[in-house]
Amino acid sequence: MVGRMIQEPPAGSPVEPVHTANRSFVPMQRRNLLGLLATLPALAVLPGVARSAEPSMTEDRIRKKPAEWRALLPADRYQVLFEEATERPFSSPLNDEKRAGTFVCAACKQPLFESAHKYDSGTGWPSFTQPISGSMGTKKDFKLIWPRTEYHCARCGGHQGHVFNDGPRPRGERWCNNGLALEFVPAGEPLPALVQ
């Protein structure tokens, strides 16, 4: 997970057994629980949700096998980008990077963020108010039960982070990124060649 969880599950369960003198009430609660659980898988296959789970990619997307990326990348970067690992907060030197420049995908080198849109969210992960237009694809994931929006580089599919709706005005977005999934190129230096 990247960033603070902004939607906490409600405290307690709505289907906790009710202590009552009427013991026949408890089995009824259990039936309700089974009914609720039976509805959960259906949520994941609603047409709209299923579509959003498909990652969106650019026209020039590159298709490498996991083994190819593994050979190209250090193990910690590979785990974040292609196994959806999350780095420890405050572990990335990019957290404190304040120079002007461009943040590119650590896998395929596509530019993803401009430094003008970086801000200190206090979360311990590099945070941005917006990505470079068209550079990211998004999909909903359900790892925390409540859907959250995972985003990835739209060129190579590498996992970058999660976007939340508690960012600064005017957009209100917080793009919470793993530093290991990015490389910083200071302004004035040439951008690296795109990996093909």
Which positions are catalytic?
Answer: 176
Distances (CA, A) of 194 to 63, 135, 179: 13, 13, 19
Residue 108 binds Zn ion, judged by CB under 5 A: yes
**Which stretches of 19-156 are DSSP H helices?**
25-44, 47-52, 66-72, 75-83
* Contacts with 188 (C-beta within 8 Å, 6 or more apart), sequence order: none
Binding span for Zn ion by CB under 5 A among 4-12, 70-78, 153-161, 176-184: 153-161
Residue 156 binds Zn ion, judged by CB under 5 A: yes
Binding span for Zn ion by CB under 5 A among 12-20, 40-48, 101-109, 130-138: 101-109
Q: Which residue has the tokens 């599919």?
A: 157
Least Å distance, CB 55 to Zn ion, is 12
Count of helix runs (H) and strand runs (E) in the chain: 4, 9
Q: In angstroms, rounded to a whole number, what is the distance separating the alpha carbons of residues 94 and 103?
A: 9
Residue 153 binds Zn ion, judged by CB under 5 A: yes
Least Å distance, CB 170 to Zn ion, is 28
Residue 182 binds Zn ion, judged by CB under 5 A: no
Least Å distance, CB 109 to Zn ion, is 7
Residues within the interface to Zn ion (CB under 5 A)? 105, 107-108, 110, 153, 155-156, 158
